[in-house]
Amino acid sequence: MTSLLANPVDAMSLSAQAPLPASAAELAKRGQIHATAQKFEASFITTVFQTMFQDVNTDSAFSGGQGEDMWKGFLAEEMAKSVAKRGGIGISHAVEREMLKMQGLSDAPATPPSTSAASTDSPPANTFAASLPRAGDAPAKKPVLQ
The tens digit of pLDDT for each residue in 28-63 reads: 888 898 999 999 999 999 999 999 888 777 766 667
Cα angle vertex 16, ends 11, 17, to 5°?
A: 100
- pLDDT at position 83: 92
Task: Write down the H helix ranges in 57-143.
Answer: 65-85, 91-102, 128-131
If one compares 73 and 119, the residue with the highest pLDDT of the two is 73
Phi then psi for residue 29, to 5 deg, are: -65, -40
Q: What does the alpha-carbon distance between residue 39 and residue 57 come to, in Å, rounded to a whole number?
A: 29
Q: CA 36, CA 99: separation in Å to the nearest integer? A: 9
Would you say 143 and 103 are in contact if contact means Cβ atoms under 8 Å apart? no
What per-residue confidence (pLDDT) applies to 104? Answer: 84
What pLDDT is stored for residue 69 in this prediction?
Answer: 75
Evaluate whether 82 touches 119 at the Cβ level (below 8 Å): no
- Does the model's pTM come out above 0.85? no
- According to the model, what pLDDT value does residue 119 have? 47
Higher pLDDT, 25 or 5: 25
Which residue did the predictor score with more confidence, 107 or 48?
A: 48
As a whole number of angstroms, the distance between CA 146 and CA 140 comes to 19
pLDDT tens, position by position, 50-101: 998 887 777 666 677 777 777 888 889 999 999 998 888 888 999 999 998 8
